[in-house]
Amino acid sequence: MTTQTQAQPFIERRKVSRQKQGKDYGWPLFLIIVTLLMIAGYFVSRDHLYKAGDNIGYNLGLVGGLLMVTLLIYPLRKRWGILQNWWLLPTWFKWHMIFGIIGPLIVVFHTTYSLRSVNAIVAFVCMMLVSGSGIFGRFFYRKIHHGLYGRQSTFEQLHNDLQGSDKVKSIFSFAPELQQRLVDFRDYVLEPKRIDKVNPVQFLTLGFRCKMFSRKLIADLEDVMYSDATAKKWSPAQMKVLDKLFDQNKVFIDNYLRSIQEIAQFKTYEYLFSLWHIFHVPLVFMLVFSGVWHVIAVHKY
């Protein structure tokens, strides 16, 4: 058990990785605030304080439309050479997501929660589809990148990181049976023929299986570590050291299994992200076309 310190680099690396990805409480809070604003806006619209065509309503539509136009800067920044040095790409991606929510929110305020023409309905539906698909795309994006604004990961990088940080043998040298169970679980989950293809059942159940395996392994680890100490009636000071070591082992197991899950699901998330991209891009073009047509129709008629 004294070899636990050898695992520390791996444990710390996984902690840093989680911190970089973040528990991202800001995004759920942002969505909650947007939802509350939409609810508040609905009740304000019932008081008929403004109309879509008067100065307030028109300017709301203008601001919302301009914010959505700025969404095009992110894909242009990625592909257009002249913009390559114009701010950092992660910064554009961040504002791409924020404006992708705030822009439609302001447009909803502009409509006063009612649509009176076919072109307005088409533009509104396209806008909501783009915004909604963007939220789903953000989830897939996080799964295949180093954090939300980081560079894209590769399957080989994740797999090599796990293999290079494999301290299982040294960590559980005092419990070879537990060591073998963990290694067997890893080899089973990461079997090439199992992870090289998209398997919906494997994908959907793996997280639950990892949690159940983790609970069972940690419970057995506790029995192994404390049985000898209890029999020999260790002193409180010795038990305190043992408690700390047990907690470190628990962290290692959780991080190790989470890494296994990430690797096993990585290619499926890549596939889902590619499908999302095929769906999202045409919606953007539909939104641009319907939005331009809506503006022309409003000013012409």
Is the pLDDT at 234 greater than 60? The verdict is yes
| Segment 21-68, tens digit of pLDDT | 445 677 788 889 999 999 999 998 888 888 888 899 999 999 999 998
Q: What are the two backbone dihedrals, phi and then psi, of residue 244, each rounded to the nearest 5 degrees? A: -65, -40
86, two tokens = 């114009």
pLDDT of residue 107: 93
Alpha helix (H) ranges present in the chain? 8-21, 26-45, 55-69, 73-79, 89-111, 118-143, 155-164, 168-171, 176-189, 192-195, 200-231, 236-300
Distance CA 253, CA 44 (A): 52
Question: Which SS3 state, helix, strand or coil, does residue 145 take?
Answer: strand
Total-model pTM:
0.68
**Span 162-185, mean pLDDT?**
75
